[in-house]
Amino acid sequence: MNSIDRSSIIRRTEQTVLKYCAEKNLFLPGARVIVACSGGADSMALLRLLLRCRSELDIEVSATHVDHGIRGAASRSDAAFVRDFCERNGVPFTLYEAARETAVPEHPSEDWARCLRYRWFDGLAAREHACIATAHTLSDQTETVLFRLARGTGVHGLAGIRPVRDVYRRPFLCLTRAQTEAYCQALGQDYVQDESNLSDVYARNRIRHDAVPALEYASPGAERAIGRLCSQMEELDRWLSRQAKSLLQCAACPDGSYDLAVLRQADGPILTAALHRLVSPVRDAEQKYIALLRTAILKGQGAVQLAPEVIWQANHGRLRCAAPRPSQLSAAPPQPVRDGNYAFAGGFTLEIETVNYEDFIKNTSFFKKDYTSYADYAKMGKNILIRTRQPGDEFRPAGRHVRKTLKKYFNETAVPTQDRTLLPLIAEGSRVLWLWGSGFAEGLAPEPSTRQVLVIRWGREPATEE
């Protein structure tokens, strides 16, 4: 490859990514960006590109590497490779070594490794007030969509990997894996090769080695075509999500259940999206659970168990979350956050009010120093629900600067065992944003740039006997 070819590849690649970042509004001016760098071609290409283009993007760039402790000397070598690159180039670097922090399973799965990485990334982003850039490419997008199609998915799943999700940014969803390798070659940038990517033991690798090349052979440009489909499905999914939220608000009853008659009147795709919102906080919203819930709603009777403590039941004109053992109080079903008064099993109550920041500042009834009661509404995310605890929930108490599993937090604060499944909370996915009795999580307090303030007051009435 001559110098002209190298310069052309570098220029085209960087222009493509810069345009994509602008279109998707990936980085705010002055953003702190931590690159999740494995040392492979994709992540080294991302780190190099963001370093080269940081002035145009107006960002600060650092890097982090996760040593899962799975591959012995090879794993340590990868970590050393990334650390050495960062030291030579003056890039702030953070290494997470799993073996020093947690027990590594004898036969760790892909899911275990992924959860380990993302727990570290979540905590690092919170501590550093930064976003995490990952090197997912169009090729990863293709593999993900094919895998979801094989398992059974809908519009939400076909939207694929999102360019923006919580603290995560994916600038390379506009490039194929071949393009990132070409970019590294043009820059003369070495990278490591994870030998586990060569094995067909993992389903994703079989898709990568067999299915994707077959598609590209049958229809050149298949990866880009699937990428365009994902973009279209993402737009459709956002629209359906808004319609689903409105449907659940219309169907919501004071006791936390939903009116079956209202749900039945909804168009099929909107009902599907609404059911996805009910299922996804508990488990992966696979099509089979959506189909079972839809059948129960249309018949007016039936039950679907999503988890040991979560059963959705349709009867007597209502869809409600029922406890598996009638002798226990039922935990509240997930429901959208909206202004109003709420009463939950166990006597727990809360009042939600949304106010303009100007009114918040002027109103002397608000105790401004107690920011556990108030939050910047825009900081809380778009898919927030009122619900009770679920497996995997994590909470970052205000003023503590640490993230804990909800189970550990309950143990430390001595929350009575009988209350733990009943305490109301507000969450986005597994991230608990507000918890009854503890208030809002770290980092949500209002500030002068806030437009709307979410105010929550909580209490507890004597619980009635069931």
Which residue has better confidence, 135 or 444? Answer: 135
Res. 464 pLDDT band, cuts 50 70 90: very low
Q: Do domains 3-230 and 252-322 have the same CATH topology?
A: no
pLDDT value at 309 more than 80: no
Res. 315 pLDDT band, cuts 50 70 90: very high
Which residue has better confidence, 80 or 209? Answer: 80
What is the average pLDDT across 191-207?
A: 71
Res. 442 pLDDT band, cuts 50 70 90: confident
Tens digits of residue pLDDT in 209-242 = 888 888 888 889 889 999 999 999 999 988 998 9
Among 105-119, 249-263, 399-413, 414-428, the minimum mean pLDDT is found in 105-119
Residue 365 confidence (pLDDT)? 55
- CA-wise closest residue to 9 among 162, 137, 155, 187: 187
Tens digits of residue pLDDT in 345-374 = 777 888 888 888 887 777 655 554 455 678
CATH number of 252-322: 3.30.70, 2.60.120, 2.60.40, 3.30.465? 3.30.465
Which residue has better confidence, 122 or 101? Answer: 122
Residue 54 confidence (pLDDT)? 95
For residue 254, count CB atoms less than 10 angstroms from its CB and return exposed for 0-12, middle for 13-18, buried for 19 or more.
exposed
Tens digits of residue pLDDT in 83-97 = 999 999 999 999 988
What is the residue extent of each domain of the chain? 3-230, 252-322, 335-460
Residue 465 confidence (pLDDT)? 37
- Average pLDDT across the chain, whole number: 84
Domain 3-230 CATH superfamily: HUPs (3.40.50.620)
Residue 14 confidence (pLDDT)? 96
